[in-house]
Amino acid sequence: MSADKLLTLVAMVWLAGLSASAQEPSTATESAGFSGYADAPAFSVVPRKDELEFYPCKQCHEFMQPDATVRELRSPHEITLEHGADRFWCLACHHLENRNALRSAMGEAVDFEDAYLVCGGCHANRQKDWYYGAHGKRVANWRGQRQIYNCTHCHNAHKPGIEPRAPKPSPGVRAGLERADRDPHKKEKLWERHPSQEQSAASDEQ
Ligand code: HEC
Ligand code: HEC
Ligand code: HEC
Ligand code: HEC
């Protein structure tokens, strides 16, 4: 093959690559807005994208017209939003055109792995605590760069309140010993043991 034919071929492959990437807009986070606190210790987030049932969203949405009309969705998204007390809808967090991406308060595309940037748009105080380690959980790398859980690891974005759960049973006692009966709920209440003066005066009158 002559040199200029090879060049043309290289150029064609390169152009094909370009148009493929144009059809598949990157989901990488565009960060024109907030990009973290400079003095917060470095971290990486435990990835979650692989756990999403519907990702990549373009499997279906590539063939659909984006529809911003606020409405109750049919299959496959029978999601009841229990977040924001009806003040916002899906598109507060999901990008309308680039469906494989989330969306920041400024309308920038945010990768699903960077969901904490979306949450922080409305929960900046909580997010700041998280950046500095006072909210959330560090899971690896006690020295060096921390690895931490994303907000979505613990909070369901569509229903973010943490569900109450039953407490774990207390640890067993050593062989030969009996568990002391220390259930605080069975005991006489403090105010029953020490009635206030008004209460004792009232019971004197009876
Ligand atoms: C199996 C196909 C399928 C997949 C995969 C899918 N969707 Fe959808 N999506 C739909 C259909 C169908 C509708 C329209 C439902 C309606 O109008 O009631 C829809 C509607 C929506 C809407 C409402 C806005 C609009 O443009 O209609 C949002 C937001 C949405 N999807 C987000 C997502 C996200 C985010 C993902 C990926 C995590 C995803 N979808 C993956 C089928 C899919
Ligand atoms: C407060 C922001 C927010 C709102 C509002 C919101 N989402 Fe999401 N959604 C997210 C985030 C963040 C994720 C990624 C969750 C994760 O990592 O587990 C997600 C995940 C999803 C997924 C993928 C779930 C999976 O397991 O594959 C679908 C589909 C989806 N959202 C659709 C919707 C639809 C439809 C609405 C409106 C009815 C909506 N979302 C409203 C933030 C939001
Ligand atoms: C567009 C603004 C907005 C975004 C984005 C947003 N939230 Fe919220 N969130 C709210 C509002 C408003 C409330 C209070 C109303 C309510 O309780 O739903 C709230 C409530 C909450 C609560 C308390 C819920 C409860 O039941 O006590 C949690 C936890 C929460 N959000 C977590 C998140 C997480 C995690 C994200 C990112 C995936 C996120 N939020 C993104 C606006 C937002
Ligand atoms: C390791 C798990 C974990 C991670 C990660 C996490 N949270 Fe939380 N978050 C909690 C728990 C537990 C609570 C307390 C819930 C309760 O009291 O019902 C909470 C409480 C909250 C509340 C207050 C809810 C209320 O009722 O006042 C908000 C808002 C919130 N988180 C947002 C976030 C945001 C934003 C992120 C990411 C930047 C995040 N969380 C990361 C576990 C987590």
pLDDT in tens, 56-88: 999 999 999 999 999 999 999 999 999 999 999
Please report whether residue 97 resides in a domain.
yes
Average pLDDT in the 10-19 region? Answer: 44
Q: How far is the CA of 62 from the centre of ligand 1 (A)?
A: 10
- Pairing between strand 43-45 and 146-148? parallel
Please report whether residue 187 resides in a domain.
no
Please report whether residue 7 resides in a domain.
no
The CB of 55 under 6 Å from ligand 4? The reply is no
Structural domain span for residue 46: 41-66+73-161
The CB of 118 under 6 Å from ligand 3? The reply is yes
DSSP3 helix / strand / coil % (the chain, rounded to 5): 30, 10, 60
Please report whether residue 103 resides in a domain.
yes
Check residues 58 and 205 and name the one with the higher pLDDT.
Answer: 58
Please report whether residue 111 resides in a domain.
yes
In ligand 4, the atom with minimum distance to the C-alpha of 153 is 5
Instruction: Tell me the three state secondary structure of residue 148.
Output: strand
Q: How many CB atoms lie within 10 A of CB 127?
A: 21
In ligand 3, the atom with minimum distance to the C-alpha of 87 is 12
pLDDT band at 202 (very low <50, low <70, confident <90, very high): low
d(CA 18, CA 10) in angstroms, rounded, equals 12
In ligand 3, the atom with minimum distance to the C-alpha of 157 is 38
Q: Model's pTM, two decimal places?
A: 0.85
Q: How many domains does the chain have?
A: 1
Which residue's C-alpha comes closest to atom 28 of ligand 1? Answer: 90
Please report whether residue 135 resides in a domain.
yes
Please report whether residue 144 resides in a domain.
yes
Please report whether residue 36 resides in a domain.
no
